[in-house]
Structure formats: structure tokens, C-alpha cells
Structure 1
Amino acid sequence: MLRITTLLLILVAISSCSNKKTETEPLTAEHKAKIVGLSKDLIKSINDFDFSIVNSTWSNKAFKDRVSNITGTQKSVFEHIFEKDLKRKIKTGNLSIIHHINSTNGAASFFNLDHKDHHSELTILLTYNDNFNFFKYRIEIENQKPVLSDSYNFRDNLWYSEKIINSLRLASKHNAFSNDRRETNIAIHNSDQELLKGDTLEALYYLYDIPTTHQTGNWLSFRKLTLAQSLSDSVYASVMVTEYENNKSLYMKYLYHLYFSDSTDLEKVYDILSEELGESKTLDSLVSSGSFWD
């Protein structure tokens, strides 16, 4: 009995250690100089339509270490989906930024580099003909070299690792046999089928059958608004109001106040965004020029 108890304690200890977030070493002046160099090379490569920098400096290991504070079961699921699909999606996502910049005659430029104790955060400004966006990479030191370990989407206000953790926890809470999970899958399937038939309105209606437990993030709001936009102004306005009431993200507030030309509240959104970005002059210039956050 004692041997069994001891074995269980060892297994629990191993499981706990495997899910503990790995602490990176403190940044030195030399590390920071290397990170500055990588930042310059990365931005130049985006504008030059060059995939080599992001491909060679993205660290799957560092990213996987970021997906922490999850159960042993969630860790196993993550390892499976990472090797099966997620690793490829991350690479595609990194390259899609370069593709989009070069296919739309856009430009990537340095916006901010914030050195933390153990990592740095590089914010890149992406500008196009009449709109702009921001994108952030987390940079860590791995084997004395700077590597990209995570990406941040300002429209979702989340690191990609946080989105994965949220998805894992949601899937654990509502497994394949739960009513909410089943109703979500059915609603999305039915919406897709109606869209294939050419019935956009019915496709939109089915998205409202998704339980509130699975209405997380901006993806569902964006999908509803995209469908509504192709129907009529009145439908779009109605969906915009509903999503604004249910989705409290900063970007949803931006879309709402922009659509209804509420300049006072739109200015408040820009103030919050500039606080998050850590700099406002460039943002003020973009807004005053008539450019949109998209």
C-alpha cells in the first residue's frame, strides 16, 4: 500500500512539473541588443516578402512552455493537436502577415519594443491604403539566441497561447457529450450548410443557436457581422447592436462607435488602445488622416 501511495505521489509531482511554466533567464544588455537586431531583421523581412526570419526564429518549444497551468489531460490533448494541426496553423498564421502586407501594397514598421525582466514585446504597425492594425510578438532568449515565442492580437486582446488555454479549458468543461458542445457543432454545421445553399439570412439565424457558453472571443461576432453586411444596412445595424451588448471587447466597441459615428466614445476607445500600445502620437496621426483600425 505504501509503495502504491508513493508511486501516486511521484506521478502527481511529475504531472505538476510538466504543466508548470518554464521561467526564462533574466535579460542582459547583450540579450537586449540581440533582440533589437532580430526586431529590425524581422520587420525588414516582412516588407521584403522574406519568410526566412520568422521561420528560423519561431520557437515551438518556447510557445509550448507558454501553454501552462492546465491539467494533465488538457496537456495531453494539447500535445496531440499541436503536432497534428496547431503547429502548421501557427506557421501559416506567421506567414499570412507577410503575404497580406505584400499582396495589398502595405507596409510593416517598428512601433514599440518593450523590454521586460525575462522577455521583450515587439509591437509592429501594419499600414495599408486606408486602414491600419497592430501586431505583437513576444521575444525570449533560448540558448543565448532571441526567439519568437508567442503572438498577440490587439483585436482579441489575447496572446495566442491564452486563446489555446481558453479553448482547452472550454473543451474540458463541455466535452463531446455535453449538450452545449453538441448544440454548438450543430448550429455551426447548419449555418455552413445554409450558406452553401445561398441562404445567408438563414445562415445568420443559425449562429444565434450557439449557447452562450461557446460565444467566446470575437470570432462569432465577426462571422455574424460579415453575413449581415451582405444582407442589408438594417440587418447589419441590428446585429451590430446585439453584438455590442453581448461582446465587451475593445474592438467590438470600436466597430460599434465607428458605425454609429459616435465620436466621443470612439475617442475613448482610441485612448484605451493607446494606453495598451504604450504610445499615442502615431495612433493620433493615423486617426487624423482618416485611416481605420481593421
Structure 2
Amino acid sequence: MDAIGACDDELVTVQVIINPLPNTGTANNPAPFCENDPALNNTAFDLFTLLSPPVDAGGTWTDDDATGALSGNTLDLSQLVIGTYNFTYSITDANSCFNSTTVTLVIDDAPESGTVNGTAAFCEGEAPSNYDLFVLLDNEDQTGTWYLGTDNTGTAIVNPIDLSGYTAATYDFTFDVDAIGACDDELVTVQVTINPLPNTGTPTPAVFCENDLAANSPLDLFNQLSGNDIGGTWTDDDATGALTGNTVDLTRLTLGAYNFTYSITDANNCSNSSTVVITVEDAPSAGTVNATP
């Protein structure tokens, strides 16, 4: 203070204190998560792991985007959907000084390769020429590539697929969905089974003269087949009335050709048949003695 004439006073000192802000750490934001990342199954993620020290204790976490997934410093990641979320750690200390740090989590969209809902089965020679493999998946994104085999290193195929020429076997087809940015999904494999037809054998035709029918009757039709499976049924295609089970009463046949078909429908509901042709041919007649000399 300025003197007044020759009069002065002693010096007086005042202090100004600048209090430090509480330390709320430095945000260490993680890389974006894909929505199908198994890490998002964590229901007790500690947000303090996203703050680099030093971090003072005693602060409060806030759910800036009202996700409902935050409890204290614990975050239920499984409740987060695609989007960007901010969570803020704040401290007001004993000096009423305030500081805060916000961490950010990003959940990115990911493709869906789908879930297998079953298998497909067809009989050999009856498989469709335009079969959509996506029928065997649920909830898939239909942008991607199908491969023959159990991974994506096999031959790429066009879907719908022509199965009509496939022989009896079980075939694997694998779908590789297109990625969305850095997010992808696992490969998914479906199976298509081509069931073999039952073996109804190779038929051998039988030819008889009309005057030999009694000598060769009854005829076991299985003797006219080779390599056949058992369990089938014979049918009298021409309704001769001569068939009983697998035997034919040849004496009931007249001149002509007759078809008898052996059919099997197996446990896979696949059917096959083979037809045996029996032909009765005209025979010359030597006549009948009608007098004595």
C-alpha cells in the first residue's frame, strides 16, 4: 500500500491456491467389437480396465446413452446392440474440483451365416436340378459363396445347385458369408444325401413253347432275376391271373408276351423295379391219331 507522507505500514501477503483436478485417468478405448464377437458374452465387464492410470478412487460411472447395461463400474456387454456407447467416470473431490473421462465402445454390424435347420435327402436319379441350399439354413444373410466340402477351400458352386446327376453318397456344402467391413462370421456346412435305389436285379426273359407250359410250371420269377434285394413285391402287369406271390402258373398263359414286375420301396422311401418278360410261342402240332389201320 502506498505510504502517506512519511507514514507507511508493514507488508501483507495473501495466497491463491490452484487445486489439482482429480485424476480420472486416460481413456483407452478398445477396438470396435463385431456384434457376433464372443467377448460380448461378458456380463461383468469392468470399465476401469479402459482407463489408463493414474485413476483416483471414489468416482462415479454414468451410462451416458441410457443402455441400462451399467451397474456401478460393471457393464453387461451382452445387452449392447449395434451402435456407439459412451460411459463417463466422474469425480468431485473435497475441494469441489470436478473432472471426468469418457470411454467409448463401438459395436459393429456383422454378417450372419445362418443356422443349420436339418439335412436333405433324395433318391438317386430323383434329386432336383434346381435345389436352393439356403432352404437348409435359418436367419442367414444370402450374400456369400457356397463351396463343395466342409470348408471354403473346395470348389465354388452356383446356388441353386443341380443335384440331378449326383450319385449315391452324402455331400457337404459350406457357406462362406461375405464380411461386413472387418466383421465376418463362421463357416456353416449343410449336408445333402443321395440315397441309392434298392436293387431289383437284372431280369432275364423266359421263352416257352405253348406245348411246354405244363412241364415248366410253376415258374419261380426270382430265377429270372440276378443280384436283387429281398423284400419286394411282384405284380401281374397284364392281369393274367397266373401270378401267386413270386410264381407263375404258366398253364394259364396263351400265346403272347407277358410282363411281371418286381418292385421295392426301401426304408428311405426310394423305389425301383425290374420287369421279367415271359413269352409263349406257337408250337407246331403233329396231329392226333383218329383211327387204326
| TM-score, length basis structure 2 | 0.18
| Structure with greater proportional helix content | 1
Greater gyration radius: 2
Structure with the greater relative contact order (CA < 8 A, sep ≥ 6): 1 or 2? Answer: 1
